[in-house]
Amino acid sequence: MEQGPSAPDGHAPADGPGPWSAWLDSLAAAAYLADEHGVITAVNAKAEQLLDRPAAELLGHDAHETLHRDARGHPEPRSECPIRQATLASRTAQGGELWFERGDGSVTPVAWLVTGYDDGDRRGMLALFHPLADTLPGSVQEPLSTLKRLALFAELTTHLTSTMDVDEVLNRLVRLLVPRLADWAVVDLITETGEVWRRAVVHVEDGDLKNEEDLVGPMPAVPQESQLPLSRALRGAASALAGPEIYQGEPDSGIAVEQRRLFATTGIRSAIIGPVRGLRDVLGALTLGRSACSRPFTTADLPLLEEITRRAGLALDNARLYQRQRKVSETMQRHLLPQLPRVPELQMTARYMPAPDASQVGGDWYDAFVLPDGATALVIGDVVGHDLDAAAAMAQLRNMLRAYAFSQQKPPSKIVEWLDQATMQMSGPAMATLVLARLTHVASLGWELTWTNAGHPPPLLITREGVPQYLTDAHGMLLGTGLREPRPDVSLLLPPGATLLLYTDGLIEEPGASLDDGLDRLSRHAAALSHQSLDTFTDKLLARARPAANEDDIALLALRTQGRGK
């Protein structure tokens, strides 16, 4: 860079006409000089014209604080300003992604070059800048460089695929796009029944994203004959430009009416609309909108939108598949769980809570039924494995156990022995744990419990006074090992007003903690809640005792003997 002439002694380079002013005005680009501290000392006429600011507003002011802004007109952090960094390092640098504030408060994107000077008396910096040809002064969104596009795609992939919740996918999507690419983001989704719902109409307000609730909700049906951009996108057509003028004529559908309302309410003046496609179907449409003060979208922006919608479509497809699988699993599990019998002088309730992960649903169950001799059978069980295969194995075990218990008036241990042998003949041998108990009302003595335990967590008995006791006797091997060992039975008279709790291991097991810790936690909470009604006891116990890091489903069967008016 050719160095300009020295300033006269005792005068700043911008003081009146002089060699520095004449030299700056001879340059073809807008330019200013700043001293070694970044204070503007001279400005040429082209800079005044481009910035729409007289030299008097610039001279003597810090160049960074006065001029340098981000794409939205906010002050740029000093640590991130490449011009300031080059000034302090006295080195030459150039680029094309800076924004300068103009006299009317708008910002203009510029390409720039800075280089240092040292005339012996003073050191400083010369800055040359000119407007970028492919952007408009005052625009909000800066055209993305190749590097920034790749960074955006990486963020979209990482953030959208790390959740399996549809609402969270949409929330993350709009946060990545507004205000980086647009002033507004609008998401329309097609439901599995073919309806269109406007799920998001988002913009920035007071630094936070705001969803315009008045504009979201059900939309009219998609017309097959409409050639307007949103209708075509919802049918899977290619991305297109759109603006309020497109919807000013006679509307061809209810969707056109809604689009007219959208543009009028939001003030969007330029938009691009593209289909969001899944692997098999069109899932919806994404609209990015810009207001009057932003650079209008052009056809050059359409490939970027299509890449965004492709990634969004894959994430939404996965989230919907996950939620569909979860719903099927939960429905199957709940249909396999029985209705509890009504037994005089005995309260009984049960709960089932699915695992947080849909793939973890399946193996836990409870059962209770009245036997031919009047006794009540109680069962809690857990098939090893957490998927639909485990749920199917659970259904087979439950049905076989019921059949043995109804047809054979035998102690629980014998029923479980037969069930264990039968598991070895199943098409897919299953390993499982369970507790089987017979509850019999004995005249003048109350309720007698006889049980056997096949590798399952021990039942918990809480007296009317709130004293907890784990029933650790009658413990034997789990089912499906192929080992033949005698299974014990143990009998116990339940105290009046006592609560008996049968549960699966999801209530006590937690990664990184011992089983004893889980058992202690459960007994403490159960004792504290024993004075509550049985339904309240069960609900609060699940809320308090369930581990925070629980990854398993939970089945729970609770009963209370007569003895108080709860």
Question: What CATH code is carried by the domain that includes residue 32?
Answer: 3.30.450.20
d(CA 147, CA 150): 5
d(CA 416, CA 168): 46
The closest alpha carbon to 140, from 111, 109, 175, 112, belongs to 109
Number of CB atoms found within 10 A of residue 501's CB = 24
Question: Which of 67-76, 290-299, 330-339 reaches the highest mean pLDDT?
Answer: 290-299
Instruction: Tell me whether residue 47 is in a domain.
Output: yes
Per DSSP bridges, beta strands 554-561 and 460-462 are unpaired
Residue with token string 């024993």: 530
CATH number, domain containing residue 411 = 3.60.40.10
Residue type, 413: S
Instruction: Tell me whether residue 137 is in a domain.
Output: no
Higher pLDDT among residues 6 and 481, named by residue: 481
Peptide bond preceding 459 in cis form (omega within 30 of 0): no
- Same domain flag for 242 and 269: yes
**pLDDT value at residue 333:** 57
Question: Which of 101-105, 110-114, 459-463 reaches the highest mean pLDDT?
Answer: 459-463
* Token pair listed for 514: 């011992």
Residues 354-392: pLDDT tens digits?
A: 776 544 556 788 999 999 999 999 999 998 866 667 777
Whether residue 12 has pLDDT greater than 60: no
Residue with token string 């951009």: 229
**Integer-rounded Cα radius of gyration of the chain:** 37
Contact between 62 and 84 under an 8 Å Cβ cutoff? The reply is no
d(CA 331, CA 354): 10
d(CA 141, CA 128): 23
Whether residue 212 has pLDDT greater than 90: yes
Instruction: Tell me whether residue 308 is in a domain.
Output: yes
- Same domain flag for 45 and 158: no
d(CA 472, CA 453): 9
d(CA 184, CA 203): 5
**pLDDT value at residue 336:** 61
Sign of the dihedral defined by the CA atoms of residues 395, 400, 401, 406, in that order: positive
Instruction: Tell me whether residue 8 is in a domain.
Output: no
d(CA 334, CA 337): 5
d(CA 113, CA 125): 10
Q: How far is CA 522 from CA 246, 382, 547, in A?
A: 64, 18, 10
**Among 91-105, 128-142, 276-290, 310-324, which is the least confidently predicted range?**
128-142
Whether residue 559 has pLDDT greater than 70: yes
Backbone angles phi, psi at 401, to 5 degrees: -65, -45
d(CA 458, CA 408): 25
Contact between 546 and 530 under an 8 Å Cβ cutoff? The reply is no
Residues 459-480: pLDDT tens digits?
A: 999 999 999 999 999 999 999 8
* Residue where one domain finishes, among candidates 326, 360, 395: 326
Residues 215-232: pLDDT tens digits?
A: 999 999 998 889 999 999
Percent over 70 (pLDDT), the chain: 85
Instruction: Tell me whether residue 380 is in a domain.
Output: yes
Residues 251-309: pLDDT tens digits?
A: 889 999 999 999 999 999 999 999 999 988 999 999 999 998 888 998 888 999 999 99
* Residue where one domain finishes, among candidates 326, 356, 390: 326
- Same domain flag for 361 and 238: no
Contact between 377 and 386 under an 8 Å Cβ cutoff? The reply is no
- Same domain flag for 401 and 375: yes
CATH number, domain containing residue 272 = 3.30.450.40
SS3 state of residue 132: coil
Q: How far is CA 130 from CA 108, 142, 242, 250, in A?
A: 10, 16, 31, 44
- Per-residue confidence band for 161, with pLDDT thresholds at 50, 70 and 90: confident
Q: How far is CA 92 from CA 85, 111, 118, in A?
A: 10, 14, 13
The set of residues, in sequence order, having a beta carbon less than 8 Å from that of 268 and lying 6+ positions away, is 183, 184, 243, 244, 262, 289, 290, 291
- Same domain flag for 302 and 360: no
* Residue where one domain finishes, among candidates 265, 297, 326: 326
- Same domain flag for 507 and 365: yes
- Same domain flag for 202 and 56: no
The whole domain housing 389 covers 339-561
- Same domain flag for 295 and 387: no
**Among 132-141, 166-175, 432-441, which is the least confidently predicted range?**
132-141
Residue with token string 């003949």: 425
Instruction: Tell me whether residue 152 is in a domain.
Output: yes
Q: What is the mean pLDDT of residues 148-169?
A: 81
Contact between 229 and 253 under an 8 Å Cβ cutoff? The reply is no
Residue type, 71: A
- Same domain flag for 81 and 158: no
Instruction: Tell me whether residue 334 is in a domain.
Output: no
SS3 state of residue 541: helix
- Same domain flag for 282 and 212: yes
Residues 402-436: pLDDT tens digits?
A: 999 999 889 999 999 999 988 887 766 578 999 99
Whether residue 16 has pLDDT greater than 50: no
**pLDDT value at residue 329:** 61
**Into how many domains does the chain fold?**
3
- Same domain flag for 351 and 312: no
Q: Quote the Cα angle for 295-299-300, to 5°.
A: 75
d(CA 53, CA 59): 11
- Same domain flag for 389 and 440: yes
Higher pLDDT among residues 339 and 213, named by residue: 213
The closest alpha carbon to 289, from 316, 312, 265, 254, belongs to 265
Number of CB atoms found within 10 A of residue 54's CB = 11
Instruction: Tell me whether residue 9 is in a domain.
Output: no
Strand pairing partners for 275?
285
Whether residue 564 has pLDDT greater than 50: no
